[in-house]
Each structure stands twice: as structure tokens, then as C-alpha cells.
Structure 1
Amino acid sequence: MIQALIQRWLAGQDPSAPEARQKCGARAGMVGILLNTLLCLGKLAAGMLTGSVAIVADALNNLSDAASSVITLVGFRLAGQAADEEHPFGHGRMEYLTGLVVSMAILLMGFELGKSSVEKLIHPEELDFSWLAAAILAAAVLVKLWMYHFNRAVGRAISSQAVEATAADSLSDAAATAVVLAATLIGHFFHLQIDGLAGLLVAAFILKTGWEAAKDTLDPLLGRPMDPELARDIDKLVVSHPNILGIHDLVYHDYGPGRAMMSFHAEVPADADLLEMHDIIDHIERELKEKHHIETVIHMDPVVNDERTAALRAQVEQLAHEIDPVLSIHDLRITAGPRHTNVLFDVMVPYGFRLTDSQVRGELSRGVKKLSEKYTAVIEVDHSYVEQREHS
């Protein structure tokens, strides 16, 4: 049912397109406002019937969720605005900011709930049991579980950190309400006053969710590496064109979902026709924009493929792999002089590598010198802007 609803909202549109994302995100926000408001009213009634601080706190948590849905809705509206003179890359990061605001609201609610629960532990009170209140809590658990699946499906369909943060919040809310329900039943049947303890457990759920959601929204704001699957897909697309030998120095800038820029160097034969290569590069830029919605700038790197350069490139690549298989080289070229020969190349080193940049340069320089006393290595160290999942 959820997938059918999302497909109906998309109406055949590309889910990564800004217009489709805005529509789905806004509608998901409206669903959240409606359901969280109803849950808040129901739990407040249950809290007044029983006198439970945990139930009232859970109701206030739903009220904050409704407010968070309003923030998410406004964020999608703002993020959908077109680029202007002051924001030439659009307003897509507003979605990340609203996700961060939602996370902060979740953390604040968890802190306040924890404080109220400690007070309840210090000064416990007898609760009035109500089967109506228990039924309201049980229904709330089911509603929140549905909201979790709903928001997760929408968030994954449109690749939205804000909606996925809301999904995580819904799951923690379901667990928190289940704890409150269990505490209510235990208090009634076993006469144990654990309302304050239940409140603390709910607060812990909420704080954990808020922290994880904050981290997920902070990463794109601070700048994160490109997803390796996207990088592989781009590499495959680019090298499928004639006379493109490879790519390197891939740099990605995220200005919000569907609003990204990147640049990279494309290796082309040094003896290729310049006008023909320019036309191919232009075509690749347009193709990447159509397929991935990424504005791309490509720098052409001429590669000399004579026998001597190719052999030396293979030898230097082997030297890099002997240091560590994660290292790679590119842009190798030779400038020969009467007494010595400069071997110029770049080496790609992942962040957090066990050796410093200067140590990598030193080991490679010594290795190149062993190949020939005439060789002098001129090395530039690059760092990957693509997430290295296999080495994390």
C-alpha cells in the first residue's frame, strides 16, 4: 500500500528530480502532522486518566513530532525554491538544515523527559489504571510502526535525510510507547511503581534517535565523500566513450539532493584530435547531468602512450602497490634532460592512511631511484573524495 501511494505521488516522475522530491516530502510532512497531532491528543487524554508522567511525556513527544513535521514541510518548500542571485546553487541544503532542527528538537525532548522521569523516581506516585488508556497506547504503537515504514519508504524513494530522520524517530517513538504501555500494565497487575523508570527508558530511546539523526544530517552539511557506487557508475559511463582512457581527481560538491556539482580529470590520448575530444567531453557532461542531475566540469589530461612511458607507468604502479594495494598513480609523464630525467606523477592516498604524505613520497622516490640512477621522482599526493568503504 505504501509503495503504491508513493508511486501515485511520483506519477512517473524521476524520484531524484527536485520537483518530485518536494511533492513527496511535503505530503509526507502533512501525514506526519495529522497523525502526530491525533496521537498527542489521545495520549494526553490517557495521561490525565492515569496520572502517568511517562504517558504525558510521550504525548508531548508526539507534539514535538508534529512540530518537526511542520519544520520538515517548510524545509521542503524552501529547498524547492529556484536558484537566485544570492544562492546560485539553489536552496537544496535547507532540507539538511530542517533535518538538523528536527534532530535538535528530538534531543531537547529526550533531555526534558529524562529530567521529569528522575523527579518521578525520587517522588513516586500511585497511578490510576484505565483500560481505555492502555488501548490508546497500544493503538499508538501500531500507528508509529506504520509511520516508520511509511517515512522510511518515502525517504529511500527520494533519497531524503530529513524524511529518513523522521522514520528513525517514529521507530524510537513506537519502542518508547511500548515501554510506557508495559510499565502501565506492570503497575496495575504487579503493583510496582516503575513509571519514572519507564520514562527514563523512553528518554534514552529518544536521545539515541536524536543523536543518530543529527549525525546523518550534519555529514552532508559539513561535506561528505561521494558514494562509491555513484563513483563507479560515473567511471563506467565516462570510460564507455571512445578515447577516454580513465578518470581521476573526482571531486564532488553536494548542494542538496538533486543539486550537485563535480569535477574530474579525463585521460585522453595525447595524439587525439582536439576538436573531436572536446565534443566527446561536452557530450559526457550533458549525459551526466541528464542521468545523475550533476553539473560537471571535466579537465582533459593528455596521456602519452609510447612504449617507454607505458612500461615506466607499470613499474611505478607496482612500486605503489608494494607499499600498499590501496595506492594508485596517475598523470605519469617524463621530462628527459642531458644528465637526469624527471618522472612526474600523482599518487592517490586515502584519508587516514598509515603513512604520512611525506613518507609515501619518500618510499616512492627511493623506489623510482632504484629503477635508474638518472630518475628523479616529482610526486604530488592526492586524497580521495570518494568514500573508501572497503578500507573503513
Structure 2
Amino acid sequence: MINLLSRIFIKNRKDYMNPIVRQQYGILCSAFGIFLNLLLFAAKLTGALITNSVAILADAFNNLSDAASSLVSVIGFKLSGKKPDADHPFGHGRLEYISGLIVSFLILFMGIELVKSSVVSIIHPERVDGGIFSICIMGAAILVKLYMYLYNHSVAKKIKSPAMEAVAKDSFGDMISTSVVILSVVAGHFTSLPVDGIGGLVVAIFIFKGGIESCKDTINPLLGLPPEKEFVDEIEKEALKFNPIVGIHDLLIHDYGPGRMMISLHAEVPGDQNIFDLHEVIDCAEFALSKKFNCSVVMHMDPIDTNNKRLEVLKSIALEEAHKIDRRFTIHDVRMVPGEKHTNLIFDIVRPHDCRLNENELKEKLFAAINSRENDVFSVITVDSPFVL
């Protein structure tokens, strides 16, 4: 159904990273989710009134909260598509994350309310008249939620939306909670225990757990996440296509919401070539990366000495000794200043956040290691943190 609707309502529907296409997918899937959740709410509410089941009633109001969540998602996708203005020069893309956070709070609130009603049902149990009708409603609801999970998960991957992935996870959790409701209704025929209230409590716990996970999924992008290694490698591969760029470092990735990313990096180029020719290469590389990754790209030209054999040897030694400490270390901006009594080897080293050595310990250990192999070399080391955000 989503495929059919996207063919009808979304132009260039396979251009998933286009901000307009992303927005249209988000609104379409959320609007369809509102329709399905209201349908499920009506069906389950009818079943709850007929059977007098707290568990089914809890599951019904869970679907009502899902409909409200989808409405918030529609508003979030709509507002996040607003163009940059004087007060928000980087656009409004993070509103998508904020809408996902609001959805998470709604899920948590519903979970707390259902815990209360389920505890009351356990303390003061009432007879549940569960029958084939209510079980059929629950079974159909599981199939509908499975479909909602599949289409939300599929579209979330295509448009890279954590808000939609949170909705998909919520739908998967609903499948489990509805299965629990079916079990509680069936078990109510064979025991005097308050299985209906217990079932409602289990549903509430699943809802609350889903709300916590959704909070994490939407808060993390707001705080800032490191990009995937594959994405960083892809940026480097694309930059190195432009001769004479020989390497990149100090990569910064700022995420102002899906489709609103800014990249800055230092591109290493031979220092003995014409500066105007190099500048033209950098301009071409910036343009190519911005087109490929649909973002703003700024490249700093960093000239290096590529013809100094002594420097290459010292660079190799520094990298070897760094890798003995931690294979994840990288070094850059390596240069050499010869003197009468010693040579200064100047370079930056990128230290992972979870490195067991602090900054001073790392400098001292690496200095000693290099000096033990080249006793006329004094290392001047700057420790960088990973600059990918």
C-alpha cells in the first residue's frame, strides 16, 4: 500500500536523500499510521467493552497513543522541511528529532498510566468474558502492526530517519504486547488468577521499554553522534580521486538534521606544486563531494613535503610506535625542522576517546619510543581527539 501511495503522491520517489522527498515519505507514512492506529483503537475498544478486559483496553489506548505519536511525526516532518531563516541559518532539520522525542514522552506517559490501571485490576480483578471475537481482533491487530513495522523500517532505512525507526520499533513492541494480551485472555478461562491485570501490566512494561529506547534513538542525534566508519571511508575515497590529493585529516561532520549535513576536512597536497592549480583541484573536490553527499563541504588545503626521504622514514617510525600503543592511532601534519644538534619531528596524533593513556602519558611514551630509535630526534606532539561528530 505504501509503495502504491508513494507512486501516486511522491514525485521522484526514489531520490531518498532529497529533503522534499524525505519530508513527503515521513508525512505519508505517519498519516497512514494515524489511519491504521485509529482503526485498531476502535476495534480493540469494542473488544474491551464486550469482554470487560483491562488488558485489551490497555492495548487499545496504546494504539490511540500511537496515533497521537504519528500526528506529532507529521507535524515534525512538516516543520523540519522549513527553509533556513535569519534565526535558524542551518535550517529546521533537527525538529524531526524533537518530534521523535515528543513521541517518546507520549509513549512513556501512556506506559505509566497503563501500569496504574493494571495494578488496580490485579488488586481488584473482574471477570473477563474473552471469546473468539476478541482473539480474532487481537490476531488481526498483530498482522496490521507487522505490516506497519515492515513499511516504517524499510522507509526509515531508505531516508535514514531515526524518528521513523523509533516508530518501527514501537510497532514491533506492539506485536509482542498484543500477543501477551491474547495469552491473558485465553489463560483467563483456565485460572482464577488475575491474568488480565497481569497481562495489562506486561503490556505496559513493553510500552515503557519502547518509550525508553525511542528516547535514546532521538536524543542521541540531538547530542551528536559519530558517523559510521563506512561513511568516513567513503568521504576519504571520494576525496582521493582528485590528484594530487594524497590524504585527508581533521574531518568534521556537523549534523543539523537529516539532509542538512556540513563537512569540513584538511586535504593533504604536495607542497612543491603550483598553488593556483592546487586551489582549482580543491574547488573541484569540494563541489563533487557536496553533490555526492548532498551537503555543504569545506576543504582546507594542507601542503606537505612529499619528496623528503628522511621525513618519510621518520613518519613511518612515528606511526609504527603509535600502533604499538594502539592500532587505532593515526598521525598527520608531519613535518621536520633540522637543527645542528637535533631534528624536531612535529606531528599531530589522533587519540580515541577511550584510550587508556591520557594526553601527557601518550606524549611521553611516544616521545621516548621514537627517541630510542632515532636519538637525534625530538618529537613535538599535538594530541587531537577524533573530530568526527
TM-score range, shorter chain: over 0.9
C-alpha displacement at 1:4, in angstroms? 6.0
1:20-31 alignment to 2 at 5 Å? 20-31=21-32
Matched, 1:337 2:339: yes
Q: Structure 1: how far apart are the matches of 2:125 and 2:258?
A: 49
Q: Structure 2: how far apart are the matches of 1:154 and 1:324?
A: 39
Contact kept, 8 Å, 1:114 with 1:199, in 2: the verdict is yes
Question: Of 307, 310, 313, which residue of structure 1 is paired with 2:312?
Answer: 310
1:238-317 alignment to 2 at 5 Å? 238-305=239-306, 306-317=308-319
C-alpha displacement at 1:6, in angstroms? 4.8
Contact kept, 8 Å, 2:53 with 2:130, in 1: the verdict is no
Paired position in structure 2 for 1:364 = 366
SS in 2 for 1:331: strand
Please list the CA deviations of residues 209-249 of structure 1 after superposition, one character each: whole Å capped at 9, or x if unmatched.
Answer: 11111111111100111111111111000011111110011
1:163-174 alignment to 2 at 5 Å? 163-174=164-175
**Taking structure 1 as reference, are residues 187 and 296 closer, same or farther at Cα in structure 2, changes over 3 Å only?**
same
Contact kept, 8 Å, 2:31 with 2:74, in 1: the verdict is yes
User: What amino acid is aligned across from residue 220 of structure 1 in structure 2?
Assistant: P
Q: Structure 2: how far apart are the matches of 1:341 and 1:100?
A: 55
Bigger Cα displacement from structure 2, 305-314 vs 366-375: 366-375
User: What amino acid is aligned across from residue 42 of structure 1 in structure 2?
Assistant: A
User: What amino acid is aligned across from residue 44 of structure 2 in structure 1?
Assistant: K
Paired position in structure 2 for 1:390 = none
User: What amino acid is aligned across from residue 337 of structure 1 in structure 2?
Assistant: G
Q: Structure 2: how far apart are the matches of 1:22 and 1:12?
A: 11
Q: Structure 2: how far apart are the matches of 1:56 and 1:221?
A: 35
User: What amino acid is aligned across from residue 132 of structure 2 in structure 1?
Assistant: W
Q: Structure 1: how far apart are the matches of 2:82 and 2:207?
A: 32
Paired position in structure 2 for 1:107 = 108
1:313-332 alignment to 2 at 5 Å? 313-332=315-334
Q: Structure 2: how far apart are the matches of 1:219 and 1:379?
A: 32
Bigger Cα displacement from structure 2, 362-371 vs 97-106: 362-371
Paired position in structure 1 for 2:85 = 84
Contact kept, 8 Å, 2:6 with 2:13, in 1: the verdict is no
User: What amino acid is aligned across from residue 378 of structure 1 in structure 2?
Assistant: V
Q: Which aligned runs of 4 or more in structure 1 are off by greater than 4 angstroms?
A: 1-8, 189-192
Q: How many residues align?
A: 387
Matched, 1:179 2:180: yes
SS in 2 for 1:378: strand
User: What amino acid is aligned across from residue 64 of structure 2 in structure 1?
Assistant: L
Contact kept, 8 Å, 1:186 with 1:192, in 2: the verdict is no
Matched, 1:142 2:143: yes
TM score, norm. by length of structure 2: 0.95
Paired position in structure 2 for 1:355 = 357
Bigger Cα displacement from structure 2, 373-382 vs 24-33: 373-382
User: What amino acid is aligned across from residue 31 of structure 1 in structure 2?
Assistant: F
Q: Alpha carbon RMSD of aligned pairs, Å?
A: 1.6
Q: Structure 2: how far apart are the matches of 1:14 and 1:147?
A: 22
Contact kept, 8 Å, 2:18 with 2:259, in 1: the verdict is yes
User: What amino acid is aligned across from residue 240 of structure 2 in structure 1?
Assistant: V
Q: Structure 2: how far apart are the matches of 1:36 and 1:5?
A: 18
Bigger Cα displacement from structure 2, 333-342 vs 106-115: 333-342
User: What amino acid is aligned across from residue 354 of structure 1 in structure 2?
Assistant: R
C-alpha displacement at 1:321, in angstroms? 1.3
Return 5+ residue gaps in structure 1 as ranges.
388-392
User: What amino acid is aligned across from residue 317 of structure 1 in structure 2?
Assistant: L
Paired position in structure 1 for 2:233 = 232
Return 5+ residue gaps in structure 2 as ranges.
none
Q: Structure 2: how far apart are the matches of 1:190 and 1:75?
A: 46
User: What amino acid is aligned across from residue 344 of structure 2 in structure 1?
Assistant: N
Contact kept, 8 Å, 1:78 with 1:94, in 2: the verdict is yes
Contact kept, 8 Å, 1:2 with 1:153, in 2: the verdict is no
